[in-house]
Amino acid sequence: MSFLKHVGKHGDRKVAIIFREVPGESHMCLVTYTETLNQHIHDPLIRCIESDVAQHAESLSDALNRVYGNDSNTILFTLHKEGLLKKVQTELIVVTPNANTKIKLNELNKILSEMKQGEDAVKRLAEMDKSRGMQDPQTVARRMREQNTRDARTTKPEPLIASSNDALGDTAIATSLRQQAAKMSAEAKGLLAESENLLKQAAEMDPPVMEKKPRATKKAVVVEAPVVAAPKVRKTKAKVSA
């Protein structure tokens, strides 16, 4: 039996955990009650949760903000528009990471946070090890460019902020879309700069052969002879003799 991320229970009611933590309110989360959803949103939501994209995402909202439902809107936007996002205390949500374990969401959030901090520490130590000793400056520059490109591709959109009425506000939705657009623009600029740099490096290693332009040929000058007009002949009347 496989177990899914981003699902749990609030009492006896099944929920999909959209945000494990509400920004600024780590003791609260945003959920939707899956058993009360209409089919037009329930089925796309479940398919999204079961997808590899969602199961590898840190937050279900990241996947829902990229997957479209039957109404041509993202599932996250539809949940917001129909008032289906509810704010609940994390300690009231129970998740089942495996067959023999049940844990409250607030405890799970704490464990995941500590694990992430540990992973970040390991990455920093690895980077420090790599930076020891002398290295080729071009290699260092190349690695920095590659890392910046990877960071731009993997940057996740900022989470939408919950409003006081337990739903996501229109302003927050619009802000999130602007942030995603800005990040996409930055990523495109980064890729364009990288492309230009690669072309420059290629030109330095293998300069392009300059094509010789064909010499211009002199055009023959045609001199036209002047046209001489024929003299006009004056006509005279013949005299008739008597």
pTM of the model: 0.51
Taking each helix axis as running N to C, give the angle between helix 137-154 and helix 170-205, from 0 to 180 degrees, rounded to the nearest 10: 150
Q: What pLDDT is stored for residue 32 in this prediction?
A: 94
Least confident of 107-116, 145-154, 157-166, 218-227: 157-166
Who has greater pLDDT, 216 or 96?
Answer: 96
Q: What pLDDT is stored for residue 179 in this prediction?
A: 72
Q: What pLDDT is stored for residue 161 in this prediction?
A: 46
Domain coordinates in residue numbering, the chain: 7-202
Are 32 and 85 spatial neighbours (Cβ–Cβ below 8 Å)?
yes
User: What confidence tens digit (pLDDT) does each residue in 75-132 have?
Assistant: 999 999 889 999 999 999 999 876 677 889 998 888 888 887 776 656 665 665 555 4
pLDDT exceeds 80 at position 150: no
